[in-house]
Structure formats: structure tokens, C-alpha cells
Structure 1
Amino acid sequence: MADALSPPEVSLFLFLVKLRRFDDATLGVLRTLLVSKDARSAVQARSSLERFMRFESLRILREVADKDAVHVLSVLEFLVRAFAVIGDFESCLALRYEALVFRENKSGVHQWLQVGHTEWVNFAKDALDNGFYPIATKACENALLCLQRSDTSGLENFTGDIQNIVSLKDVAISSTGSCSVQAKAVKYLKRKEMERSKQQASTFREIQPVASVLFRDSIKKRNARIFSECQALRSAARNSHAHTKIPGFV
């Protein structure tokens, strides 16, 4: 865990979760863990808690799979609130969706669990705001199904709701398409950048031998010039020596 968290608080939270104490007291301990004056430590703490809760939540959901509906929903609510405190909105939305689907599946036996179209719409808006466009689209479809099932003879009473849901769904679908286009654009730019880098490397490899040839040629020319100058100096020295008169001789 992060250094900003005191060991007793960490141990207490882990202990309560492993005891399956899914109540406000445990959430209170979780909030305390995230109180930090050090921003970096707070980020590290949230990351550690996120990993722990993601792993532990899978075990918890397997354990309560055969429990009664009320117990399962209470556990899901706790997990949703815990992930919201941590700031893991992806897990939070995923578990909210699981809770809504669970209620839908159980509503045939327990009618009081039936999900209203407003709940699906609210969930769709939250999913849309957080960038989960496909799941927002699915939530809109579920909202429309709820309206169809609730009153097939009086859908004209929900004309405004239907239009709003359809508009929300269109936004989610267009946002999904926009993300796909952006993703393709990013891939295209990356590919072009790689091709450009390869081309530059190839050009460098082609230029390098030419540069080395020019360098060797310049050395040869320099050596030839020095040799020519030396030869000229030697010739001048010989000529000067031949014309020098020795004293005492005519």
C-alpha cells in the first residue's frame, strides 16, 4: 500500500472486507484511508485499493451468487459505493449494470425488483458522461423495452420519454462511431510515422557511404597536394644547390 496510509487503517479495512462487513462503517474506514495531504500518495493509495477491490469483488460475487435477492443487491450496492469512493468509475458502472440486470432477471418472481425506464435512462446518462458509449446504448435499448412492457396500450403517454431515449441512444451511437474513427486515425498516424522513420533510416544508410567516399577523396586530394608541394620544395632546393658558387674557385 501507499506510504500515506497508516498500517492500522489499512489492516482494519482489509479485515472488514474479508469479514464481509458490507456496511457504512467499512465505507467510513475506506474514506479515511484516502484522506492525504500528499497528492502523489493519494494516487498510489487509490491505485492499490482499486487493485485489491477489483480482485476481492470477483470473489465476493461468486460467494453470494446463490444467496437471496435482497442479500445480493445489498452486496452490489456496497461494492458500487466502494468503487465510487475509490474513484474507479469503470468498475462502479459495471456493477451498477450488473445490479440492474440482476433485478430484471429476478423481476419475474419478485415483481418489486422490476427496473423502471427512468433508472435505465439515468444509468445511460452516467455511462455516456464517463465515455462508456456501447453500454449507454444498451441501457437506452433496455429503457425502451421497459416502456413497451409496462403499457403496450398507452405508449402515447410516453411519447416525450421515448423521443428523449431515442435521442440519447443516437448520441451514444454517434459517440461510439466517433471514437472508432479517432482510433483509426490514431493508428493511421502511427503507421505513417513508422513508415517515415524507416524511410529516414534508409535514406541515412544510403547517404552514409556517399559521405564516407567524399571524405576519403578529400583526404586523397590533400595528401596529393602535400606530396606535390614537397616535390616542388625538393626540386627548388636542388636547383639552388647547383647554382651556389664555392669560395676560392673561379
Structure 2
Amino acid sequence: MSSAISRQISLFRIQLENRRFNGAALQILDSILAAKDIRSLLEIRSALGDLLRSEIAPVLGEIAKKSAYEKLLTVDFFVKAFALVGDTESCLALKYEALVLRETKCAVDHDLHVSYQEWYAFGKDSLDNGFYTIAVKGFERALLCIQSHGNIDPDLDTFSIEAHMIDEIKKLRDMAATLVASHSVYTESANYMKRKAIHDEGKWTSRSDKRQEVASVTFRNGIKRRNMMKLQQSQRLLQNTTP
């Protein structure tokens, strides 16, 4: 990593340490990632991802008692930052937390209300990126939003929209749930095969040890018999030559 890149990363780290979660900090981050070769970009993204992950936990702890809007602004900054460095998992995890926070506060402030379209988009993004468990949660939330009848445009045919979207969301939810189950079966199968391989290897080693032991005993006994035969032959020759 070049010294110029290291200086830019240090500058971005200072922005995080000073809790400057704003557009200027994101511009610095974007400039670090701009126009780099593939090898350098992977290295830089990894370093920046580690930096962001090391900061997110203490930052969330610090803003725990702040207003919902302050929390959401901070979370939105990290969502965008993680998206820039290519950490999709952290990006989606924070999006989920932000949507849940808005839902818990929307009774007091209707501007924080979460539409079913937002939950649907979140579930779709999670599904497309392979995060099936969180996709199921997103689609379930979208269904709850539609069933609450608070997300439909009154100028449209509410019933037809609900029927269409419920079918679509259920289909995607079931697909995600199936993929979760398939992944669990695959993981369990992989673990079983690994345990079986270790067990079989132990049995084979044990059998090999026994076979080696038997072979060793047979070999030693063969030597003893051979030596005994030579001794007997020597004794007979000695007896024949004795006057």
C-alpha cells in the first residue's frame, strides 16, 4: 500500500475518531477507492472494512441515548460507508437496524414510518446477496406492513395491490426460507462427512496399527523359528562329527 493511500486512510480514520459522520468523510472514503488496480483495491477495501467494523460498535454505544434522528443519521453514514467498501453484510445489517428503529418510533413521529416497499426492497437485496435469513425477516415485515393497511395509495385499487404484493412477497419469502433450510442441510451434511472422515481415519489408523502389530509379531516369530532351525541343524552336524 502506497504512502499516499496510507495518509488518506489516516485522514479518514481521523474523521471517524472525531465523529464527523458527514458527506465530507464519505468523499474522502470515495477518493481512497477511486481509480485503483484490482489487487490494490481489494487490499484497501479490506483495510477500510476492518477500520469501519472496529468503529461501529463503540459509536452505536455512544449514540444509544440520542434522538432517533441522530441515530438514523449516524447509521445512514455507516450504511453508505460499508456500501462503498463492498461490505454488503454489514451494510444490510445496519439497514435492518435502521428500519426496525423507525418502526419503533413511528407511532410518535409518523415521518419515520416504514412502507412495505422499503421492507420489500430490503428483503430483495438480502435475497439477491445470499443473506437468506435476514431476507425472510424483511419479507415478513413487508407482509405485516401491507396487512396494516397503512401503506397503500388510496387512489389505487387497494385489494388488487394487496393480493398481488402478498403473493409476490410470500413467494420470495418461501424461496428464502427454502434456501435457509437447504443451506442448513448442506452445512449439516458437510459437518457429518467431516466427522465421518475423522472417525473412519481413526478406525483405519487403529486397524493399521493392529495389522502392523500382527505383522511385527509374525516377523519376529519367523526369525525365532529360523534361528531355532539353524540351531537344530548345527546340533545335528555337531553330533554327526563327534567320534
What are the residue-to-residue correspondences of 1:139-218 with 2, within 5 Å? 139-151=138-150, 154-218=158-222
Task: State the match for 1:24 in structure 2.
Answer: 23
Q: Which amino acid aligns with 2:124?
A: K
Q: Write out per-residue CA displacement over residues 140-186 of structure 1, whole angstroms, 9 at most, x where no aligned residue.
A: 11111111222599444421111101111111111111111112111
Please tell me the root mean square deviation across aligned C-alpha atoms, in Å: 2.9
Task: State the match for 1:244 in structure 2.
Answer: none
User: Does structure 1 residue 9 correspond to structure 2 residue 1?
Assistant: no
CA distance in 2, matches of 1:58, 1:5: 28
Task: State the match for 2:67 in structure 1.
Answer: 68
CA distance in 1, matches of 2:43, 2:82: 15
Q: Write out per-residue CA displacement over residues 54-90 of structure 1, whole angstroms, 9 at most, x where no aligned residue.
A: 1211222222233333332221111001111122111
Structure showing greater radius of gyration is 1
Q: Which amino acid aligns with 1:28?
A: Q
Q: Which amino acid aligns with 2:126?
A: A
Q: Which amino acid aligns with 1:71?
A: E
Structure 2, unmatched stretches of 5+, are: none
Q: 1:150 aligns to what SS in structure 2?
A: coil
Q: 1:177 aligns to what SS in structure 2?
A: helix
What are the residue-to-residue correspondences of 1:78-117 with 2, within 5 Å? 78-117=77-116
- Aligned partners of 1:148 and 1:155 also within 8 Å: no
User: Does structure 1 residue 134 correspond to structure 2 residue 133?
Assistant: yes
Q: Write out per-residue CA displacement over residues 187-226 of structure 1, whole angstroms, 9 at most, x where no aligned residue.
A: 2111211111011011111111122123324444665677
Return the TM-score normalized by structure 2. 0.83
- Aligned partners of 2:9 and 2:48 also within 8 Å: no
CA distance in 1, matches of 2:160, 2:177: 25
Return the TM-score normalized by structure 1. 0.81
Q: Which amino acid aligns with 1:214?
A: T
CA distance in 1, matches of 2:33, 2:222: 70
Identity %: 39
Q: 2:21 aligns to what SS in structure 1?
A: coil
Q: Write out per-residue CA displacement over residues 23-56 of structure 1, whole angstroms, 9 at most, x where no aligned residue.
A: 23212322333454362x5444333322221121
Q: 1:52 aligns to what SS in structure 2?
A: helix
- Aligned partners of 1:4 and 1:45 also within 8 Å: no
CA distance in 1, matches of 2:224, 2:4: 72
Structure 1, unmatched stretches of 5+, are: 239-250
- Aligned partners of 1:5 and 1:45 also within 8 Å: no
Q: Which amino acid aligns with 1:84?
A: A
- Aligned partners of 1:46 and 1:87 also within 8 Å: yes
Q: 1:65 aligns to what SS in structure 2?
A: coil
CA distance in 1, matches of 2:233, 2:210: 36
CA distance in 2, matches of 1:224, 1:174: 73
Comparing 25-34 and 193-202, the one that deviates more: 25-34
